[in-house]
Amino acid sequence: MHRFDTLAVHAGREDFPDLGVHAPPIDLSTTYPVADLQVGTASFDALVAGEAAAANPIYARLHNPTVARVEQALARLEGTEACVAFGSGMAALTAMLLAARTRGGHVLVVRPLYGTSDHLLACGLAGIRAEFVQPDEIAAKIRPDTALVIIETPANPTLDLVDVRAVATAAGEVPVLVDSTFATPVLQRPFELGATYVLHSATKFLGGHGDVIAGVICCSEDRARPLRQVRAATGALLHPLAAYLLHRGLPTLGLRVERAQANAQVLAERLAAHPAVARVFYPGLGTVKNAHLARSQMQGPGALIAFELRAGYAAAAALMRAVRLVTPAVSLGSVDSLIQHPSGLTHRVVEEGAKAGCGITPGMLRLSVGIEHVEDLWADLAQALTAAEAALAVDNAA
């Protein structure tokens, strides 16, 4: 069995010798000729039923070979039988909720999680009833119609960690979905810890270059079939060009995560010592819930940092105006560093009480650390912190 870094380079490329190619081919066909109607009909039935492949792809909404290759690669990296790729992370979560409705309409959810995920669950748009609970409440809250348990670890944006094994045990026969976007399979493989489904916004670290929108769910083959059925019916298949870009990013995944994580540890330590910073949220500092899990269920603390400024919202806004190397923008997991304001941007759609209960304050910023030189990153953050303090002093004097 090859090690992770080798798999990241070679997985999903097993058919290249037969094809006589070295780089992944991009199949942009929207439809495929059906010379034999009997074969075509059988292929259509198989794909609509959720099979992974058929003799004829028939139509690109049902199957695409470029997408299938990156699915094979990610399944191997997560240690699952299957992976189902979607046009975005939210498309993946929506498909999961629609598929889960056949088991019941009740879903248990642990906050915090990505703001739009929270909103989709809270508003009931996908036809489910979400009940937000603490991890130690899961066993007591399960009902006959509970179809799914959803957690995100590390959590967005507070970096709280949730014990996947404990949740899987508490859930019993109820499937558990883990959003592992922040960790990536480099640092965490939830399926090996007892999770049923592993979700990634592949837009983030898996793609890694800020040029692809994608979402994936890794799971067993029998649980993948209903997801493919929903994907085929709703048209949520990942575009082949996006699949190509996603696959292209995987060989450097381990290198990127390791470098960004090393940078993040240094920056978190320096931010924690800065007088303008009230609190730093980072597993590598032991300043998040269940930080010990970064040494047990994870292989490191990751590349995301959240920090709260003493002067609150005004200081956060001033810092975002002052950064020059770090980009003030939502998203994360790219080779370049990004900083954003959760309360005003990614989690703006979360109701205020829930934000406050999770510790998402107006003075909090979330930093996605990239692979730049750490001293250049710190120089930019330090000058931005100074500029923010100076701007506040002027405002207060006025």
As annotated, the active-site residues are 61, 114, 179, 204
Look at residues 148, 209, 208, 210 and name the one whose alpha carbon lies nearest to residue 179: 148
User: Residues near 113 by Cβ (< 8 Å), separated by ≥ 6?
Assistant: 150, 151, 152, 155, 156, 179
User: Residues near 52 by Cβ (< 8 Å), separated by ≥ 6?
Assistant: 68, 71, 82, 221, 224, 228
**Residues 222, 227, 228, CA angle at the centre, nearest 5°?**
95
Measured CA to CA, the distance from residue 177 to residue 200 in angstroms comes to 11
Residue 200, beta-bridge partner list: 216
**Residues 180, 182, 187, CA angle at the centre, nearest 5°?**
75
Measured CA to CA, the distance from residue 364 to residue 355 in angstroms comes to 11
Measured CA to CA, the distance from residue 158 to residue 291 in angstroms comes to 12
Q: How many residues does the chain have?
A: 398
How would DSSP label each residue in 63-115? --HHHHHHHHHHHHHHT-SEEEEESSHHHHHHHHHHHHTTT-SEEEEESP--H
